[in-house]
Amino acid sequence: MKKRLKPDLYLNTVHELDTAALKTKGIRAMIVDIDNTLVSWDTKEPDEKINELICRLGSEGFKICILSNNSKKRVEEFNRHLNLPAIHKAVKPSKTAFRKAMNIMDSNPENTAVIGDQLFTDVLGGNRLGLYTVLVPPICKKEFIWTRFMRLIERIVLNKVL
């Protein structure tokens, strides 16, 4: 059985996404986290590199849906120019929003990847539905106490499953 807290793939940043390899695996849709995955949690808008990445992924035929546990305001502001399908207050790792994202993209667990920085929301949520899960290290060090605490737990768990 697949370990629920083990990502299928680790990358140093989202910019390392190998689209050819993903296509070989049959991936054609991506559920993407914002905070500390695409930009640091306190960065309001995507930077130029992120804009280029999203644009390239789209032109290579990938469908993308933003899935964030953050507020409507945060997600809408970030997504203003990207105009991607986006779900706020997703309550990851709850399955509901992951299913909704796949519905929007007309994709399924076999052809959808999840990209995020947190084991207990992004990876766990994706693994619960059998999606292809990609973990990146969080971009920003300045974090809320609770998130910092969860990082510590994540490191302990990662050391055990790897």
Distances from the Cα of 96 to the Cα of 24, 37, 82, 107, angstroms: 27, 21, 24, 15
By CB under 5 A, the residues from 68 to 87 that bind Mg ion are none
In the chain, the N- to C-terminal Cα span, in Å, equals 15
**Residue 36 in the binding site for Mg ion (CB under 5 A):** yes
Complex with Mg ion: residue 104 or 140, whichever CB lies closer? 140
Complex with Mg ion: residue 94 or 108, whichever CB lies closer? 94
Among 75, 93, 113, 117, binds Mg ion (CB under 5 A): 117
Residue nearest to Mg ion (CB): 35
Separation of alpha carbons 90 and 107, rounded Å: 18
Contact between residue 153 and residue 119 where contact means Cβ atoms under 8 Å apart: no
Binding residues for Mg ion, rule CB under 5 A, total: 5
Q: One symbol per residue from 6 to 35: x for binding Mg ion (CB under 5 A), - otherwise; what is it?
A: ---------------------------x-x
Complex with Mg ion: residue 117 or 154, whichever CB lies closer? 117
Comparing CA positions, the residue from 156, 161, 123 lying closest to residue 37 is 123
- DSSP for residue 122: I
Q: How many residues does the chain have?
A: 162
Question: Closest approach of Cβ 41 to Mg ion, in Å?
Answer: 7
Chain residues that interact with Mg ion, rule: CB under 5 A: 33, 35-37, 117
